[in-house]
Structure 1
Amino acid sequence: MSHPVFVFGSNLAGRHGKGAALFARQHRGAIYGQGQGRQGNSYAIPTKDANLRALPLSVIKYQVEVFLTHADNHRDEQFQLTPIGCGLAGYNHEQIAPMFASVPDNVILPDEFEAVLSA
């Protein structure tokens, strides 16, 4: 059985050097230099710009919507979401989780986001 698609926070420069992004590059086919979208068995959602500064929440929300459309259009696959934006980008779960309030049923949310959304 194949792994779900690993969904991680990235930067627009595609420098997958730390955290979930590094894991995605080492184990799930993320491509160094590609900062967004499907890559191997992973999907990058930008949370930082090309200079590694946190993107505004409005830009992250747009990128989340692009991902949700992709997941909705690929119902034959499962997507395992990490708590994007809540590590190196510096946002908290309460700021990011609501962006995922209406996920398709093939997206597995991290426990931290589930806790916020069910509160």
Structure 2
Amino acid sequence: MSQKFDTDGSASGLTEPVFVFGSNLAGHHDSGNAAVAARFHQAAAGVGRGPTGNAYAIAYRGINGALLSTQAIAKHVQGFRQYAAEHREKRYHIARFGCEKGALQDLEMATLFSGCSRNCVLPGVWQRLISPEHPVRVLIFDPAGQLLNAAWQDLLVRYFESNRPVWEARSVEVVSVGDARNVVAIDKAARRIGVQHRVIAPNAAYYGEQAAVAAEMNAVWYATHFLSITDTDQTAQPTHVRLLSFALRDGVACEDLYLDMF
């Protein structure tokens, strides 16, 4: 049931999809997914809209950092849509943006991208908003391999049984990233539940030494939910802290699963 995350039509390599992110017109890529674009995808400083490196900036804030009008943002999004349609040889992964406090709602932003050319892929959260038939994707973090244990598997089964009616999802997929113990435990649980399991594999050829962190970001981008398998006797690990921070930034629903939960 396991399969690896495929970013650009190949399992790995020097290429990745073009990273589409929200920017200010001044091109100050200092935080959020704009910083990710500069760090990993060669987005050029001082360029607030259009393609540079392996990235594409969509302006949603002005030179002074003020939020642009919805009409202005829509115009910049339309410019990207036209560009992507004219460059179908490339794939584009659109990062969530414009939804921080005081900005727009996720549905407003996601709707601006509805009907994009097929070489454009939205974050999992936005895909579900636009098309509820898309699967719920639960990114599971289980560093201690608790899901190798039948009791924890039973707990996960009850978690899915109780949430499926709430999600109103036609299908559910579990997602994993990280070390082998985490992935193996989640794969065993996925087989027990009978759902598909997608492994987000690092692309060291593209990301180099930062491949593991980049894979975590890709996993969160792909997911709609983040579920931590919680052992109250353990302290939080750096990987857990990073994943949680990425999930909160990207609007992914976060939950904990712990013994005696049900």
TM class, shorter-length? over 0.9
Relative contact order (alpha carbons < 8 A, sep ≥ 6): 1 or 2 greater? 1
Q: Which structure: greater helix fraction?
A: 2
Deviation at residue 68 of structure 1 after TM alignment: 0.3
Which consecutive residues of structure 1, in runs of 5 or more, have no partner in the other structure? Answer: none
Deviation at residue 84 of structure 1 after TM alignment: 2.2
Change (3 A) 1:9 1:72: same
C-alpha contact 1:47 1:89 (8 A) present in aligned 2: no
Partners of 2:108 and 2:44 lie apart in 1 by 28
Change (3 A) 1:29 1:109: same
- Picking from 54, 57, 60, the partner of 2:70 is 57
Partners of 2:47 and 2:17 lie apart in 1 by 20
**Residue-by-residue CA offset, 1:47-106 (whole Å, 9 max, x unaligned):** 100000111110000000000000000100000001121137721111111111110000
- Picking from 122, 125, 129, the partner of 1:112 is 125
User: How do 1:37-116 and structure 2 match up within 5 A?
Assistant: 37-87=50-100, 90-116=103-129
Partners of 2:57 and 2:67 lie apart in 1 by 15
> Aligned residues: percent identity?
34
Change (3 A) 1:19 1:25: same
Q: Which runs of 4+ in 1 moved over 3 A?
A: none
Larger gyration radius, structure 1 or structure 2: 2
Which consecutive residues of structure 2, in runs of 5 or more, have no partner in the other structure? Answer: 1-12, 133-262
